[in-house]
Amino acid sequence: MSNEKNKHMKAFVSILAISFILSGCSEENVGTSTCLTPATLRDMSGLDGCGWVFELNDGTKLSPYWIMFCGTPPLPKEVTEDPLYNFEYVDGKQVMINYEIIPDIVTACMAAEVVKIKCISDRPLPGNE
């Protein structure tokens, strides 16, 4: 009887261990920290209603959605963890991004699609990779 009880206990522990391992993987986190899309930062403030946009290699322009906060510090996590929080905007800057299209938000800038930037990093110059 104890041999059968041992088998059940081992099976239970194995299933429990697999459950813990798999619960650490969530679809929400997959790829959110991987910047794979090359883009160039463009200052389009001369175009009515536009500001900074990311231009992809195919010419598509993306307008980043910024979480604004007015109030007394400390700033909320949504602001300080935004990849654009301390980003330095320079016209022509080459970057790698990961983004998510936000279909329900529109801006006055009709030249770009509104996106949430999920990841941003400087793009290595050719030959410095």
- Give CA–CA dist 112/88, Å, rounded: 20
Is residue 49 very low, low, confident or very high in pLDDT (cuts 50, 70, 90)? confident
- Give CA–CA dist 120/122, Å, rounded: 7
Q: Which architecture does CATH list for 32-122?
A: Beta Barrel (2.40)
- Give CA–CA dist 63/21, Å, rounded: 38
- Give CA–CA dist 37/60, Å, rounded: 12
pLDDT of res. 12: 46
pTM above 0.75, yes or no: no
H/E segment holding residue 41: strand 37-43
The neighbouring-strand residues paired with 52 are 43
